[in-house]
Amino acid sequence: MINIQAATEADLDAILDIENLSFLSPSSRREMESELLRSAPHKEGPLFMRCKSDTPIRMKPAEEYHPDMRDSVANEVSRFFTARYDGVICGYIIFWLVLDEVHLISIAVHPEYRRRKIASKLFQFMLDYVKPGPKSVYLEVRPSNEDALDFYRKMGFEETGLRKKYYPNGEDAVLMKLCIPS
Ligand SMILES: CC(C)(COP(=O)(O)OP(=O)(O)OC[C@H]1O[C@@H](n2cnc3c(N)ncnc32)[C@H](O)[C@@H]1OP(=O)(O)O)[C@@H](O)C(=O)NCCC(=O)NCCS
């Protein structure tokens, strides 16, 4: 049974485990904490209701975070959700809502849980969440990340271009776009 819920600070260790097992240049704890903070203002609103989460939401007040991170509180574009399989956090998705576009920032599933349609469910959740509204989803992905390219093509994305030397190791990024079906 897969459940999707708004991510909380209590989920951070599990999220970082998945992150470290999934990416060449994983995000740091601080970056993930910052992303959580950005998505926090939405957790007590309609989004929280929609997730039917029974996890109590407890975020630190902004002033308790490092000064570099406080600006994040004002950024209300981010959404951050986890997927649980039989109660265990096995994946997550982060996306940003920017004007009429969705930017898929990150999606990852723990290696032991892959090919069980968990990423597909997270992705479909995102599409349901943003409707009606944005008409397209954009993302960047490494050309060497064949698993992700296959996944995104399966979800209906098309390649639209390359961003040269986008990644810290100098690798280009493949730009992909999906037109959200109405
Ligand atoms: C890409 C990723 C998120 C897919 O997660 P997942 O839960 O295994 O994906 P799903 O089970 O929902 O796969 C749906 C479909 O996508 C395609 N797909 C997914 N992983 C694939 C792989 N390794 N090889 C080929 N096709 C793949 C398949 O068509 C699959 O359907 P099928 O299993 O019926 O053939 C996962 O491999 C992952 O976490 N990778 C590391 C992190 C990453 O690269 N994230 C994306 C960049 S931000």
Which residues have CB under 8 Å from 13's CB, separation 6+? none
Q: If you take atom 18 of ligand 1, which residue's CA is the nearest one? A: 151
Centre of ligand 1 from the C-alpha of residue 119, in Å: 7
Q: Which residue has the higher pLDDT, 95 or 44?
A: 95
Domain residue limits at 178: 136-182
User: H or E segment at 74?
Assistant: none
Residues 144 and 130 in one domain: no
Residues 88 and 176 in one domain: no
- For residue 64, give the CATH number of its domain: 3.40.630.30
Ligand 1 atom showing the smallest separation from residue 18 Cα: 39
Residue 150: CB within 6 Å of ligand 1? yes
Residue 86: phi and psi, rounded to 5, are 45, 40
Q: If you take atom 17 of ligand 1, which residue's CA is the nearest one? A: 151
Ligand 1 pocket test, pick from 147, 149, 150, 178 with the greatest ligand atom count within 8 Å of Cβ, gives 147
Residues 105 and 15 in one domain: yes
CA 176 from centre of chain: 16
Could you give the CA distance from residue 50 to residue 69 in angstroms, rounded to a whole number?
Answer: 27
pTM of the model: 0.86
Determine contact, residues 134/181, Cβ cutoff 8 Å.
no
Residue 109: CB within 6 Å of ligand 1? yes
Residue 119: CB within 6 Å of ligand 1? yes
- Residue of 110, 162, 168, 123 whose CA lies nearest to 141: 162
Could you give the CA distance from residue 127 to residue 125 in angstroms, rounded to a whole number?
Answer: 5
Domain tally for the chain? 2
Residues 69 and 123 in one domain: yes
Residues 88 and 166 in one domain: no
pLDDT tens digit sequence for 151-171? 999 999 999 999 999 998 899
pLDDT tens digit sequence for 113-162? 999 999 999 999 999 999 888 899 999 999 999 999 999 999 999 999 99
Residue 7: CB within 6 Å of ligand 1? no
Q: What's the count of helices (H) and strands (E) in the chain, helices before strands?
A: 5, 7
Which residues have CB under 8 Å from 160's CB, separation 6+? 175, 176, 177
Residues 108 and 144 in one domain: no
